[in-house]
Amino acid sequence: MDSDFTSDNTDDTAAPTPDDRALDAYSRVVTQVAATVTPQVAAVTMTGPGGRPIGSGSAVVFTDDRLLLTNAHVVGRGDAAELGFADGTTAEAEVVGRDPLSDLALLRALGATPPPATLGDADQLRVGQLVVAVGNPLGLAGSVTAGVVSAVGRSLPVADRGGWRVIDDVIQTDAALNPGNSGGALATSDGRVVGITTAVAGVGLGLAIPINATSTRIIEALRRTGRVRRAYLGVATTPVRVPEPVAARSGRKQALVLQQVEPGSPAERSGLRRGDVLLSAAGRDVTRAQDLQRLMLAENIGRQLPVTVLRNGAMVDVIAYPEELVSR
């Protein structure tokens, strides 16, 4: 008697689809980066007088002589720290220096640390590139999240002890960041640390301070003297395309629009306004936040800084006098 059921001898195990293979490749990259970077990231508890905890975050070991890189807002006004690593080891640390404008700070461990992270170059990042964030959010040591680079070269105002300040040239990512991630590592698929994560924006954005030529100079200054003498204007900027008629006349295609001008800042006193399109500074075209940041050096404090902006369709020349950044 014939059966109504006809077997086609099909294997119940379906062949992997291209999406399955892509997911496996994605997972392998993230797990490899996590395995490489997690041991290099410490949980940080900042301490005050009497060893009282006054703040927490993360930090990244980046030299063989026990230096760790973190955020200035993690260090705050503390002068000592307790470090905890993924393997369970702990160490005390001292503050080497801090730079509020870049939101970077250095700690030195007073005990043994894991081998240092390998630093990359954030200037080589591309929008859409995979990145992995490693830190200690909500007190959970060694937490890993992954995402992509959403934008580069941003300049954003952030809250700071009842006031606000501007962090220049940040990396924006959709990798989830929470309190405690600040000072952690943002790494590329090859395990190189290209940013120090910061969760101070408070607007649902994942932000990281880039590791590049500018931040390397800041780090070296902190190692030598514990501080960085920096000039500042008090503006927050975003890259923008120059309107076609102006681009045709001036030869400039990219510029920076002033999203914020800090009240009472050198920028405001010079007459710069929110919405101005910054075309040049010190005679140089300005197309990225980093172009302006490179001018904020100690030798430019109190000196004339000629600036050209586009305002209501007309070019306006302004003279600004950058001031020295003073920590609050």
Q: Which residues contact 112 (CB under 8 A, 6 or more apart)?
A: 66, 89, 91
CATH number of the structural domain spanning residue 96? 2.40.10.10
Return d(Cα 189, Cα 268) in angstroms, integer: 42
For residues 258-282, average pLDDT? 95
Same domain as 239, residue 211: no
CB 265 within 8 A of CB 233: yes
Structure confidence at residue 92 (pLDDT): 96
Q: By mean pLDDT, which of 128-137, 177-186, 235-244, 317-326 is the weakest?
A: 177-186
Q: Of 58, 73, 169, 265, which is the active-site residue?
A: 73
Range among 156-160, 167-171, 297-301 rated most confident:
297-301
Structure confidence at residue 11 (pLDDT): 52
In a domain, 21, yes or no: no
Residue 148, Cβ density class (10 Å: 0-12 exposed, 13-18 middle, ≥19 buried): middle
Q: How confident is the model at residue 252 (pLDDT cuts 50, 70, 90)?
A: confident
Which one has a higher pLDDT value, 211 or 2? 211
Per the annotation, the verdict on 143 as an active-site residue is: no
For residues 157-177, average pLDDT? 70
Which is it for the CA torsion 16, 18, 23, 26, positive or negative?
positive
Domain count, the chain: 3
Same domain as 240, residue 283: yes
CATH number of the structural domain spanning residue 247? 2.30.42.10
Q: How confident is the model at residue 153 (pLDDT cuts 50, 70, 90)?
A: confident
Q: 48 to each of 42, 218, 312, how far by Cα in Å?
A: 19, 25, 51
Q: How confident is the model at residue 5 (pLDDT cuts 50, 70, 90)?
A: very low
Q: How confident is the model at residue 23 (pLDDT cuts 50, 70, 90)?
A: low
Q: How confident is the model at residue 202 (pLDDT cuts 50, 70, 90)?
A: low
Beta strands in the chain (DSSP E): 41-47, 53-61, 67-70, 80-84, 90-99, 104-109, 130-135, 143-160, 163-173, 185-187, 193-198, 206-210, 231-232, 235-241, 254-261, 277-281, 284-285, 305-311, 314-320, 323-324
- 53, pLDDT greater than 70: yes
Q: What is the CA radius of gyration of the chain?
A: 23
Same domain as 206, residue 265: no
Same domain as 272, residue 204: no
Same domain as 236, residue 206: no
For residues 32-45, average pLDDT? 95
Q: What is the pTM of this model?
A: 0.72
Same domain as 219, residue 132: yes
Structure confidence at residue 232 (pLDDT): 85
Per the annotation, the verdict on 12 as an active-site residue is: no
- 205, pLDDT greater than 80: no
Q: How confident is the model at residue 296 (pLDDT cuts 50, 70, 90)?
A: confident
Same domain as 305, residue 238: yes
Q: Of 56, 182, 265, 280, which is the active-site residue?
A: 182
Q: Of 103, 168, 276, 291, which is the active-site residue?
A: 103
- 262, pLDDT greater than 80: yes
In a domain, 117, yes or no: no
DSSP class per residue in 135-185 = E-GGG-TTEEEEEEEEEEEEEEEEEETTEEEEEEEEEEE-S---TT-TT-E
For residues 22-51, average pLDDT? 90
In a domain, 26, yes or no: no
Return d(Cα 31, Cα 37) in angstroms, integer: 10
Structure confidence at residue 15 (pLDDT): 66
Structure confidence at residue 160 (pLDDT): 53
Structure confidence at residue 310 (pLDDT): 94
Structure confidence at residue 149 (pLDDT): 94
Return d(Cα 316, Cα 285) in angstroms, integer: 15
- Three-class SS state of 238: strand
Return d(Cα 6, Cα 15) in angstroms, integer: 22
Closest CA to 72 of 298, 290, 327: 327
Structure confidence at residue 4 (pLDDT): 47
Which one has a higher pLDDT value, 328 or 302? 302
Structure confidence at residue 7 (pLDDT): 46
Which one has a higher pLDDT value, 250 or 194? 194
Structure confidence at residue 2 (pLDDT): 47
Structure confidence at residue 18 (pLDDT): 67
In a domain, 2, yes or no: no
Same domain as 239, residue 192: no
Last residue of a domain, one of 51, 75, 109: 109
Same domain as 242, residue 217: no
Structure confidence at residue 34 (pLDDT): 94
Same domain as 280, residue 261: yes
For residues 43-72, average pLDDT? 92
Which one has a higher pLDDT value, 229 or 167? 229
Q: What is the DSSP letter of 110?
A: S
Structure confidence at residue 255 (pLDDT): 94
- 6, pLDDT greater than 60: no
Domain extent for 140: 122-225
Per the annotation, the verdict on 103 as an active-site residue is: yes
